[in-house]
A = this chain, B = another copy of it.
Amino acid sequence: MDPASKSGYHHGDLRDALVSATDRILVERGLDGFSLREAARRAGVSAGAPAHHFGSVYGLLTEVAIRGFEELVAFLKAGEAEGGSDPLARLHGQGRGYVRFAVAFPGRFDLMFRKDRLDDANERLRLVGASARHELERAMAACLGRDISSPHVALAALGAWSLVHGFAHLALDGKLGGPAAMASAIDEMLPQLLAMYRPDREQSGDA
């Protein structure tokens, strides 16, 4: 009816069909098992069809990555909310949300940080990526009691991002045990790690 959600041409809504087909492939076979033709196959469409909607493989994968980042931001916010009112607890909550997202959607997570498969120039991708970084920097600024535009905050945010990203990587490599042990690792080891490396507000910030 409304032309935005169901513009029933030949297929109906091939754009979304391809995106969700890709998502399913990422879940079942990972990024390596993905191919544009396979996505087209699953959408019940010929190999050349995706080009009209996404231009090239990069376009399709970029679209999937964008939706991944949107969901990541949601996970960050949910995790932060668990932290209550203490700024440090809220920051750590974001970290837990980050790792939880990585563990929940390994395929999407893989894709999102493999820039060789994405279109870096895509405006929406950059926007949603900046949005995620903004979430982190806001929580970090509150935690350090500094302005969000401070280079100190940017540097501390980089460090915090690296920490949880490395932890997530480790979890996905299976180095933290199976899925059962992973959940407890996120709730036990990650807090320990975050406590061990916390941004130190006492150091001289302007050298």
Q: What residues of chain A have their CB less than 8 Å away from a CB belonging to chain B? A: 30-32, 115-116, 155-156, 158-159, 161-167, 169-170, 173, 188-189, 192-193, 195-200, 203, 207
11 contacts between A and B (CB under 8 A): A31-B116, A158-B193, A159-B163, A159-B193, A161-B166, A162-B162, A162-B164, A162-B167, A195-B200, A196-B200, A196-B203
Given contacts A116-B31, A116-B32, contact A197 B166 (CB under 8 A): no
Q: In whole angstroms, how far apart are the Cα atoms of A115 and B189 in the complex?
A: 24
Determine whether the beta carbon of A198 is less than 8 Å from that of B197: yes
Q: In whole angstroms, how far apart are the Cα atoms of A188 and B159 in the complex?
A: 15
Q: Which of these, B31, B159, B192, contacts A196 with CB under 8 Å?
A: B159
* Most B CB within 10 A of own CB, among A162, A170, A192, A200: A162
Q: Which of these, B165, B188, B207, contacts A162 with CB under 8 Å?
A: B165
Determine whether the beta carbon of B166 is less than 8 Å from that of A159: yes
Q: Please give me the 4 A-B residue pairs with the lowest Cβ-Cβ distance, nearest first.
A: A162-B166, A197-B197, A159-B197, A162-B162
Q: In whole angstroms, how far apart are the Cα atoms of A195 and B205 in the complex?
A: 10
Closest to A110 in B: B116
Residues of B within 8 A of A195 (CB): 200, 203
Determine whether the beta carbon of B170 is less than 8 Å from that of A166: no
Determine whether the beta carbon of A199 is less than 8 Å from that of B200: no
Determine whether the beta carbon of B197 is less than 8 Å from that of A163: yes
Residues of B within 8 A of A170 (CB): 158
